[in-house]
Structure 1
Amino acid sequence: MSNLTVGLAIIGGLLLAAVVAHGAWTSRRNTPRQASTEESDTLPPGGYDEAFTGTERNEPTFDPLPIGAEGGAHSDADGGNLIDPMLGKLPAPEKKPGLDALIDVIANIALDNHVSGEAAIAAMPPTRRAGSKPFAVEGLNEATRQWETPENGAWYEAFQAGVQLANRTGALNEIEYSEFVMKAQAFADTINGTPDFPEMLDEVARGRELDQFASSHDAQLSFTLRARSAAWSPGYVHQNAARLGFVAGVIPGRMVLSSAEPGLPPLLGLSFDTQAAMAEDPAQSAIREVTLSLDVPQVYRTEQPFVRMREAAQILAEGMDGVITDDNGHMLQPEAMDVIGADLEKLYDTLDARDLSAGSVLARRLFS
Structure 2
Amino acid sequence: MSSFTIGLAILGGLVLAGLVAWNTWTSRKNTPRQPETMPMPIEPTGDGTAAGERLDPVFDVSPLPVMEKKPALDALIDAITPIVVESPVSGDAALAAMPPTRRAGSKPFAIEGQNESSGQWEMPVAGQRYTAFQAGVQLANRTGALNEIEFSEFVVKVQAFADAINGEPEFPDMIDEVARGRELDQFASAHDAQLGFTLRAKNAAWSPGYVQQYASRLGFVAGAIPGRMVLPATTSGSPPVLGLSFDTQAAMADDPAQSALRDVTLSLDVPHVDRGEQPFVRMRDAAIALAASMDGLITDDNGAVIRPDGLDVIGADLEQLYDTLDSRDLSAGSPQARRLFS
TM-score, normalization: structure 2?
0.92
What is the deviation of 1:259? 1.4
Q: Tell me which residue corresponds to 2:179.
A: 205
Question: Do residues 231 (structure 1) and 225 (structure 2) align?
Answer: no
What is the deviation of 1:337? 1.3
Q: Map of 1:165-314 to 2, 5 A cutoff?
A: 165-314=139-288
Contact kept? 1:105, 1:165, Cα under 8 Å: yes
Q: Tell me which residue corresponds to 1:58.
A: 63
Q: Tell me which residue corresponds to 2:57.
A: 43
Q: Tell me which residue corresponds to 1:339.
A: 313
The amino acid that maps onto 2:104 is A
Q: Tell me which residue corresponds to 2:13.
A: 13
Higher relative contact order (CA 8 A, sep 6+): 1
The 3 A distance-change label for structure 1 pair 111 and 42 is: farther
Instruction: Return the alpha-carbon distance in structure 2 between the equivalents of residues 229 and 61 of structure 1.
Output: 39
What's the RMSD between the two structures over aligned residues?
1.9
Deviation sequence 1:199-236 (CA, Å, 0-9, x none): 00100110011011111111000111011011111111
Q: Tell me which residue corresponds to 1:323.
A: 297
The amino acid that maps onto 1:112 is E
Which consecutive unaligned segments of at least 5 residues does structure 2 have? 40-53
Instruction: Return the alpha-carbon distance in structure 2 between the equivalents of residues 327 and 150 of structure 1.
Output: 45
Instruction: Return the alpha-carbon distance in structure 1 between the equivalents of residues 4 and 106 of structure 2.
Output: 83
Please say which of residues 275-284 and 230-239 is displaced more in the overlay. 275-284
Q: Tell me which residue corresponds to 2:42.
A: none
Deviation sequence 1:15-42 (CA, Å, 0-9, x none): 2111111111111111111111127657
Instruction: Return the alpha-carbon distance in structure 2 between the equivalents of residues 200 and 335 of structure 1.
Output: 49
The amino acid that maps onto 1:8 is L
Question: Do residues 120 (structure 1) and 125 (structure 2) align?
Answer: no
Q: Could you tell me which of 40, 52, 77 is aligned with 1:103? A: 77
Deviation sequence 1:234-275 (CA, Å, 0-9, x none): 111111111111112122211111112232211000111122
Q: Could you tell me which of 121, 125, 149 is aligned with 1:151? A: 125
Instruction: Return the alpha-carbon distance in structure 2 between the equivalents of residues 192 and 30 of structure 1.
Output: 70
Instruction: Return the alpha-carbon distance in structure 2 between the equivalents of residues 27 and 226 of structure 1.
Output: 19
The amino acid that maps onto 2:86 is D
Q: Tell me which residue corresponds to 2:104.
A: 130
The 3 A distance-change label for structure 1 pair 24 and 42 is: closer
The amino acid that maps onto 2:20 is V
Contact kept? 1:57, 1:250, Cα under 8 Å: no
Q: Tell me which residue corresponds to 2:25.
A: 25
TM-score, normalization: structure 1?
0.85
Q: Tell me which residue corresponds to 1:65.
A: none
What is the deviation of 1:367? 0.7
Contact kept? 1:252, 1:274, Cα under 8 Å: yes
Structure 1 vs Structure 2: percent identity of aligned residues? 71
The 3 A distance-change label for structure 1 pair 244 and 340 is: same
What is the deviation of 1:57? 5.2
Contact kept? 2:159, 2:169, Cα under 8 Å: yes
Instruction: Return the alpha-carbon distance in structure 1 between the equivalents of residues 120 and 186 of structure 2.
Output: 32
The 3 A distance-change label for structure 1 pair 182 and 278 is: same
Instruction: Return the alpha-carbon distance in structure 1 between the equivalents of residues 277 and 90 of structure 2.
Output: 41
